[in-house]
Structure 1
């Protein structure tokens, strides 16, 4: 009986060692497979990130170039003969703008035209 117990213990130890070896081998294969898949996914994601960063950098560089153009070239070109004709920088009087309201007040005037009494709008325009 003692021999059988020792034999069972030895068989059990062998089974345990075999199972752990199988688990170890399987776990290595699983780890390798997971590592390969992770690398494939990471490299694919990495390529997408590189291209998007490159595109973003290109757009940012073009915007910076446009700003440099606006702040350097346009004042040099239009500074001498701009809307004021150079009168403000030389201290001379600026020409008066044409009569009438301009800009946002014109929208307010349009509401007067479409109101219940549009005659006020036409009377004001005729007075000018």
Structure 2
């Protein structure tokens, strides 16, 4: 079972404290490691108009793309409580835009439970740019 690097774990724990979840009270933090090795973090940001809320994974990917990078090498997601949260369906689709199905996704709980899975296992038969490039 892969061990979470200490710098990633510390970043996740710091980010989890910064999540803005006044409605669901379900804080989530995410870190993506780009192909260059750089880490980008994000948190969930809720909004009273619920559809305008953003997930932590999306926030982290937006940070990466804003920095000029386009390839994700690894992802960590941490939620409060005992059960680790997996990325939602929308976040899975955002991740597959910048990563292969073999992308390691590490889902962690703040209490130490972990699920290590690939993006392809989370999102089988994903819709990718290859569908848009067909003749």
TM-score bracket for this pair, using the shorter chain length: under 0.3
Q: TM-score, normalised on structure 2?
A: 0.20
Higher normalized contact order (CA 8 Å, seq sep 6+, divided by chain length): 2
Higher helix share: 1
Higher strand share: 2
Q: TM-score, normalised on structure 1?
A: 0.21
